[in-house]
Homo-oligomer: A and B are copies of this chain.
């Protein structure tokens, strides 16, 4: 447990906990107001720490935001990565839709953080979009294209099929207040969306 070396890196438990508290509060604020609209004062208030204390744990506002985005991208792409070229085509895509909707339901703040960033022209993640993301989508699109060629999936432009999954699932997180305002009380948006999207993609994809 003891760490005798003088200039060591590992964080203490209290440091870990405070960093997490800050990142959690920052996610609240950044996801609601975007990078420029968010203030350290708000993050300080939500986290319960003082503003200088925030800047003891992170060198700058920019750095807190960058940390959140870095963690996000991995979580965000996991469901698509899990699409198995060896599985049953329709079942695989439906499972992807299901996982992506779960992500919207369980991590709506992350969805909105990402939406804010892309809406603002993605200045901080453009490289990731044109790099990792494009490679992954191209790769999985090729899998879809092959399934279509073999007649095991309805013929559709694979990239746009993937866009449609993103659009439909993220809508329920990003436009949550609109969805609830229009549905009115007594609804469970995500449960209804889960059934609806299952029907939609089944009809669309079964050859």
Q: Which residues of A contact B (CB under 8 A)?
A: 32-38, 112, 115-116, 118-122, 126, 129-130, 133-134, 137, 154, 156-157, 159-161, 163-164, 166-168, 170-172, 174-175, 177-179, 181-184, 192-193, 195-196, 199-200, 203-204
Residues of B within 8 A of A183 (CB): 159
Across the interface, do B178 and A171 meet the contact criterion of CB distance under 8 Å?
no
A-B contact sample (8 more), CB < 8 A, given A157-B192, A163-B179: A118-B174, A129-B177, A129-B182, A134-B181, A156-B200, A160-B192, A164-B200, A204-B204
Question: CA–CA, A184 to B199, complex, Å?
Answer: 31
Across the interface, do B174 and A119 meet the contact criterion of CB distance under 8 Å?
yes
Across the interface, do B200 and A204 meet the contact criterion of CB distance under 8 Å?
yes
Across the interface, do B181 and A120 meet the contact criterion of CB distance under 8 Å?
no
Across the interface, do B120 and A33 meet the contact criterion of CB distance under 8 Å?
yes
Across the interface, do A159 and B182 meet the contact criterion of CB distance under 8 Å?
yes
Q: 11 A-B pairs, CB-CB below 8 angstroms?
A: A32-B119, A119-B119, A129-B182, A159-B182, A160-B196, A161-B196, A163-B179, A164-B168, A164-B196, A166-B171, A167-B168
Across the interface, do A177 and B134 meet the contact criterion of CB distance under 8 Å?
no
Residues of B within 8 A of A199 (CB): 156
Chain B CB within 10 Å, residue with most, of A122, A126, A193, A200 = A200
Question: CA–CA, A195 to B156, complex, Å?
Answer: 10
Closest to A123 in B: B177
Across the interface, do A130 and B204 meet the contact criterion of CB distance under 8 Å?
no
Given A37-B33, A37-B34, A204-B200, verify A134-B182 contact (CB < 8 Å).
yes
Q: A134 touches which one: B33, B172, B174, B184 (CB < 8 A)?
A: B184
Q: A129 touches which one: B115, B119, B178 (CB < 8 A)?
A: B178
Across the interface, do A115 and B119 meet the contact criterion of CB distance under 8 Å?
yes
Across the interface, do A177 and B122 meet the contact criterion of CB distance under 8 Å?
yes
